[in-house]
């Protein structure tokens, strides 16, 4: 495919645009509200538009990290400025710019004071989140991971509800605690790496390669190391019982904050599991898995049950997030392609539908400045467009086939059922409860008698329709045509499963199976594209050294790495 010269740096630009935009907005006088609103929106939209070519240019036939940019930063301790993306990063990267633009757009009327700071922090937030998904270096990752808290802290602490300080500090300290534990883990692996290989390298790939060395250590050490990462990510996800910062943060945050929090921030945790915890600790996972799965399943059912009796709409949606992300984790912990695919889809879908639900709560909150379910009723009558959007988001959230939520849930449950049937059966009951609490919410808010105060509420205006429309379209698009996204994720997930669960492919000849399938006439439509795949022979990691697994897909990066080494003259 033809490469535009600057194209290789496009992801870097996409990441930098929000930061540059924020810097530019710094120089605008404080009073010019409209400039901040439209400017921030323009920057966010530009960012999204810049992202679109990435989707088309991404090479789906390999699991390799693409668009690698790498240079030395602090050579003495092995820190590089290294960015690049694989399919997993790409979809979350796209999601971030997508949700980011909507978060800006929904704030025009909601934010009435200190808008300069608000939009600047929002853009900085987006920069840090994009940074997490794009970085290929542990140091950089940790940096973005922790910096991300700062804009979020201010978004909640300044523009939040009555208990904003409590919520902001809780969010900050809780997630910081997890982050610091993770730092300990990172450092432990870092020094272990020096002990075993004699080099200091903080690249993510080299950390993946440490999997073998880590498995040589004592079990207690492995468990502690794994737990340090687990806590860092589990708090961010959040998994039961580390979730209590979430309802508070959601309830107090302004709508845009909730949207970003639910849409993207929570995905950091699940992304962490996919990117770090699973591939770095494949050997200790079976030991810890029963514990992890127990927490996961409790989260699914517990989140749904607690959501059911919430009186505050935002809190209800927040607890539903606990349940949905529990499901996402269940998919990841199934350790097979379908489960992980489902988990990835659940990340995207939760990002879309839960953001949508928070926007929906935001609409009525903006109009009436109350959020209690009991304050509403019968809104379907005077807000038909709102009712339609709400219904679509509700159905997407409870996994109606044809909408996005179903694809993720189905793949997760299918994968989990394949791996651990009983866990899947219990998790499926969480889906029944999901329908119960969402429909009950809908019934209480939208159905029933309409009182005079609610009757005065206006239906969605053009701006609101404009930012809901892309979300609704995304719901339908992913629900009806998820195959292209699956195609992007397919290779990276295959690669991941080979790292973490090589037994899954044992004795299976993937190529043969695909040929059989094509012969059966199933998948004939996709057959021509598959021919590319044949060129890349599938390697079975359980037959070879650990090192080769991690290296194999990263040829592109290696060549650049060599240049970098030559430039710095070695260590």
Partner 1 sequence: MSMESSILWLIPFLPAFGALINGITGRWLRKTKIVDCVALGSVGISFLLSVFFFIWLLALEPSQRVVTQSLWVWFDLGGANVLGGLSQNVMEWAYRADTLSIAMALLVSGAGFLIHLFSTGYMSEERSDGRYYRFMAYMNLFMFSMLNLVLGNNIMMMFLGWEGVGLCSYLLIGFYFDKDFAAIAGKKAFVVNRVGDFGFLIGFFLLFMIFGSVDYNTMMGLTRDVLAQSEITLFGVTCAATWWFNLVGICLFIGACGKSAQIPLYVWLPDAMAGPTPVSALIHAATMVTSGLYMVCRMNFIYVNAETALAVILAVGALTAFVSATMGLAQYDIKKVLAYSTVSQLGFMFMGMGAGAFSAGLFHVFTHAFFKAALFLGAGAVIVACHHEQDMRNMGGLRKYMPITFISMGVATLAICGIFPFSGYFSKDDILWKVFEGWYNHGHYDGPMLNLTAWILGMLGAFCTAFYMTRLMVMTFWGDFRGAGDDPHGLRAPAAAQHNAHDGHDGHDGHDAHDAHSHHGHGHHSHGHGQHAHGHHAQADNHHGHSQHDARGYDGYSSHGAHGEHPDRNEHHEQHEQHDSHGPREVSWNMWLPVAILAGLALIGGFLNVPHSLHFLGDSHFSDWLHPLMFQREAAHGANHAVPAIEYLLQIFAVLWALMAIFLAWWIYKMDPAWSKAKAFVAMFPGLYRWVHNKYFVDEFYDLVIVNPCKRLSAQLWAFDAWVVDGMVNGAARFSVLAGRFTFWIDLRIVDGLVNAAAWILQQIALFFRAIQSGRVQHYAFVMFLGFLTFAFWRFLV
Q: Tell which positions 272-311 bind partner 1, by CB under 8 A.
A: 302, 305-306, 308-310
DSSP code, position 554: G
- In whole angstroms, the minimum distance from the beta carbon of 248 to partner 1 comes to 8
The nearer residue to partner 1, 112 or 508, going by C-beta atoms, is 508
* Binder of partner 1 out of 138, 332, 413, 460 (CB under 8 A): 413
Q: How far is the CB of 406 from partner 1 (least distance, A)?
A: 8
Which among 166, 306, 296, 175 has a CA at the least distance from the CA of 235? 175
Nearer Cβ to partner 1, position 16 or 227? 227
Residue nearer to partner 1 on the CB measure, 211 or 446:
446
Residue 20 within binding range of partner 1, rule CB under 8 A: no
Judged by CB under 8 A, the residue of 451, 526, 562, 563 near partner 1 is 526
Contacts of residue 496, Cβ cutoff 8 Å, sequence gap at least 6: 88, 274, 278, 279, 340
**Of 351 and 405, which has the nearer Cβ to partner 1?**
405
Which region among 157-165, 188-196, 477-485, 562-570 touches partner 1 (by CB under 8 A)?
Answer: 477-485
The answer to whether 250 touches 308, Cβ cutoff 8 Å, is: no
Q: How many Cα atoms are found within 13 Å in the side-chain-facing hemisphere of 105? A: 23
Give per-residue burial for 25-38: e unless 16+ CB within 10 Å, then b.
beeeeeeeeeebbe
Judge contact between 441 and 360, C-beta under 8 A: no
Q: Are 69 and 82 in contact (CB under 8 A)?
A: yes
Please report the DSSP string for 153-175 in residue order. Answer: HHHHHHH--TTHHHHHHHHHHHH
Instruction: Determine the Cα–Cα distance for residues 289 and 511; give it in Å rounded to an integer.
Output: 31
Phi then psi dihedrals of residue 212, to 5 deg = -65, -45
123 binds partner 1 (CB under 8 A): no
The binder of partner 1 chosen from 428, 476, 539, 564 (CB under 8 A)? 428
Q: Which of residues 224-283 bind partner 1 (CB under 8 A)?
A: 240-241, 243-245
Which residue number, 96 or 414, has a Cβ lying nearer to partner 1? Answer: 414
Q: Is 327 in the site for partner 1 (CB under 8 A)?
A: no
Q: How far apart are CA 409 and CA 413, in angstroms?
A: 6
Burial class (CB in 10 A: 0-12, 13-18, 19+), 308: middle
- C-alpha 355/C-alpha 513 separation (Å) is 39
Q: Give the residue with the Cβ less far from partner 1, 75 or 378.
A: 378
Q: In this structure, what token pair is assigned to residue 218? A: 């004592």
Q: How far apart are CA 111 and CA 193, in angstroms?
A: 49
* Choice from 255, 338, 495, 554 touching partner 1 (CB under 8 A): 338
**Rounded-to-integer distance, Cα 203 and Cα 544, Å:** 22
Q: Judged by CB under 8 A, does residue 538 bind partner 1?
A: no
| Token pair recorded at residue 394 | 């509700």
Q: Which of 42, 74, 173, 469 binds partner 1 (CB under 8 A)?
A: 173
Report how far Cα 411 is from the mean position of its chain's Cα atoms.
17
CA distances from residue 557 to 13, 153, 459, 537, 538 in whole angstroms, order as listed = 19, 35, 52, 20, 20
Q: Nearer to partner 1 by C-beta: 36 or 174?
A: 174
Q: Which is nearer to partner 1, 4 or 309 (CB)?
A: 309
By rule CB under 8 A, what count of residues binds partner 1?
71
Distance separating alpha carbons of residues 102 and 393, to the nearest angstrom: 15
Measured from the CB of residue 443, what is the shortest distance to partner 1 in angstroms?
5
Q: How far apart are alpha carbons 360 and 356 in whole angstroms?
A: 6
Stretch that binds partner 1, among 137-145, 191-199, 429-437, 460-468 (CB under 8 A): 429-437
Q: For the CB of residue 151, give the shortest distance to partner 1 in the complex, in Å.
A: 23
Number of neighbours of residue 201 by Cβ within 10 angstroms: 22
For residue 515, the minimal CB distance to partner 1 (Å) is: 9
Considering only 458, 463, 481, 506, the residue that binds partner 1 (CB under 8 A) is 481
Q: With binding defined as CB under 8 A, does residue 181 bind partner 1?
A: no
Question: Which residue number, 75 or 161, has a Cβ lying nearer to partner 1?
Answer: 161
Whole-number Å distance between alpha carbons of 196 and 137: 20
Q: Which is nearer to partner 1, 101 or 318 (CB)?
A: 318
357/414 Cα distance (integer angstroms): 26
Least Å distance, CB 112 to partner 1, is: 31
Q: Which of 75, 161, 212, 448 binds partner 1 (CB under 8 A)?
A: 448
Q: Is 176 in the site for partner 1 (CB under 8 A)?
A: no
CB of 115 to partner 1, least distance (A): 32
522 binds partner 1 (CB under 8 A): yes
* In the complex, minimum distance from the CB of residue 273 to partner 1, in angstroms, rounded to a whole number: 21
Residues whose CB falls within 8 Å of the CB of residue 254, separated by 6 or more in sequence, listed in order? 107, 110, 111, 155, 156, 159, 160
435 makes contact with partner 1 (CB under 8 A):
yes
Question: Of 49 and 385, which has the nearer Cβ to partner 1?
Answer: 385
Binding-site member from 512, 528, 535, 566 for partner 1 (CB under 8 A): 512
Give the C-alpha separation, 42 to 49, whole Å.
Answer: 10
> Given candidates 66, 97, 354, 380, which one binds partner 1 under the rule CB under 8 A?
380
- Closer of 512 and 543 to partner 1 (Cβ): 512
Compute the least distance from the CB of residue 280 to partner 1, in Å.
25
Q: Name which position in 451, 503, 516, 562 contacts partner 1 (CB under 8 A).
A: 516
192: its two tokens: 């272990």
Task: Give me the least distance between CB of 500 and partner 1, in Å please.
Answer: 16
Please tell me whether residue 525 binds partner 1 under the rule CB under 8 A.
Answer: yes
Residues 484-503 that bind partner 1 (CB under 8 A): 486
Select from 17-25, 28-36, 224-232, 434-442 the region that touches partner 1 (CB under 8 A).
434-442
User: Helix, strand, coil: what percent of the chain each, to 5?
Assistant: 75, 5, 20
């Amino acid at each position: 495919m033809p490469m535009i010269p600057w194209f290789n740096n496009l992801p870097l630009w996409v990441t930098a645009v929000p930061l540059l935009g924020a810097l530019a907005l710094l120089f605008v006088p404080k009073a010019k509200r409209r400039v901040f609103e439209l400017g921030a929106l323009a920057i966010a939209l530009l960012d999204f538009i810049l992202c679109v070519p990435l989707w088309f240019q991404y090479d789906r036939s390999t699991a390799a990290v693409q668009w690698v940019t790498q240079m030395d930063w602090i050579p003495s301790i092995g820190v590089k400025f290294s960015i690049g993306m694989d399919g997993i990063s790409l979809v979350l990267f796209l999601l971030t710019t997508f949700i980011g633009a909507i978060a800006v757009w929904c704030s025009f009327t909601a934010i009435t004071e200190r808008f300069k700071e608000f939009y600047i922090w929002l853009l900085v937030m987006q920069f840090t989140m994009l940074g997490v998904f794009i970085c290929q270096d542990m140091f950089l990752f940790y940096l973005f991971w922790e910096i991300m808290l700062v804009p979020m802290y201010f978004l909640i602490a300044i523009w939040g509800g009555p208990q904003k300080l409590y919520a902001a500090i809780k969010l900050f300290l809780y997630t910081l605690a997890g982050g610091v534990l993770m730092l300990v883990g990172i450092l432990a692996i870092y020094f272990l790496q020096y002990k075993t290989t004699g080099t200091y390298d903080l690249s993510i790939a080299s950390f993946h390669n440490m999997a073998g060395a880590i498995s040589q250590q004592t079990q207690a050490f492995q468990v502690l190391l794994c737990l340090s990462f687990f806590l860092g990510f589990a708090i961010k996800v959040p998994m039961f019982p580390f979730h209590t910062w979430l309802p508070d943060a959601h309830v107090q945050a302004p709508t845009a904050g909730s949207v970003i929090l639910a849409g993207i921030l929570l995905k950091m945790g699940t992304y962490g599991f996919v990117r770090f915890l699973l591939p770095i600790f494949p050997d200790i996972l079976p030991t810890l898995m029963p514990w992890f799965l127990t927490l996961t399943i409790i989260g699914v059912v517990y989140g749904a049950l607690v959501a059911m009796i919430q009186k505050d709409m935002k809190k209800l949606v927040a607890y539903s997030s606990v349940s949905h992300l529990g499901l996402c984790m269940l998919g990841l912990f199934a350790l097979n392609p379908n489960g992980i695919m489902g988990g990835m889809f659940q990340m995207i879908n939760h990002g879309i539908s839960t953001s949508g639900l928070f926007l929906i709560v935001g609409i009525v909150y903006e109009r009436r400045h109350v959020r209690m379910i009991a304050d509403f009723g019968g809104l379907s009558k005077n807000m038909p467009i709102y009712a339609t959007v709400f219904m679509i988001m509700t159905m997407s959230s409870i996994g109606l086939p044809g909408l996005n939520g179903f694809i993720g849930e189905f793949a997760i449950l299918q994968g989990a059922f394949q791996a651990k049937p009983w866990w899947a059966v219990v998790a499926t009951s969480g889906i029944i409860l999901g329908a119960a609490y969402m429909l009950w919410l809908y019934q209480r808010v939208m159905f029933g008698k309409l009182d005079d105060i609610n009757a005065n509420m206006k239906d969605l205006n053009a701006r609101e329709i404009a930012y809901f429309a892309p979300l609704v379209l995304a719901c339908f698009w992913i629900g009806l045509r998820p195959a292209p996204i699956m195609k992007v994720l397919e290779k990276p997930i295959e690669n991941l499963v080979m790292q973490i669960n090589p037994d899954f492919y044992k004795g299976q000849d993937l190529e043969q199976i695909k040929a059989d399938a094509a012969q059966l006439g199933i998948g004939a439509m996709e057959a021509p594209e598959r021919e590319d795949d044949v060129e890349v022979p599938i390697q079975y990691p359980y037959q070879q050294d650990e090192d080769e697994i991690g290296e194999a897909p990263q040829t592109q990066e290696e060549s650049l790495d060599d240049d970098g080494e030559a430039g710095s003259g070695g260590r």
